[in-house]
């Protein structure tokens, strides 16, 4: 899964934070929130609760064909998938659960294609 940062929100009031084109990313929506957060942090030394900045991360969903294309484009990733599938086959998971029937058919076709290519 890919990660993408969402627009920042002020950790104090929750309003959107305008982002400039260069420099450090803004944290506060306004000078008033920045000052209030400073006062809250300063008061926290006396036992009050401080405001802490937390980045929010949005998970971006994508089509599984993109994942498959990336795996097929990498011999190392393809090897890992095949090794994991072999482990599932050894422990009986592939043959005991109906959800894997299409995968077993595809694996059979792969095996047949590999055998045909070795013969020629």
Q: What is the model's pLDDT at position 50?
A: 56
Q: For tokens 């030394």, what's the residue? A: 45
Distance CA 64, CA 42 (A): 49
Q: What is the pTM of this model?
A: 0.46
Q: What is the pLDDT of residues 58-109, one digit of tens each?
A: 777 778 888 899 999 999 999 999 999 999 999 998 889 999 999 999 999 9
């Amino acid at each position: 899964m890919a990660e993408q940062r969402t627009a920042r929100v002020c950790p104090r009031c929750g309003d959107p934070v305008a982002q400039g084109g260069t420099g450090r990313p803004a944290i506060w929506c306004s000078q008033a929130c920045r000052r209030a957060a400073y006062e809250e942090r300063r008061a926290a030394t006396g036992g009050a609760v401080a405001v802490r900045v937390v980045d929010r991360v949005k998970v971006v969903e994508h089509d599984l064909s993109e994942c498959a294309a990336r795996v097929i484009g990498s011999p190392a990733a393809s090897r890992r998938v095949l090794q994991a599938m072999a482990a599932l086959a050894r422990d009986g998971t592939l043959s005991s659960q109906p959800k894997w029937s299409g995968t077993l058919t595809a694996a059979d076709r792969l095996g047949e294609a590999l055998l045909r290519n070795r013969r020629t």
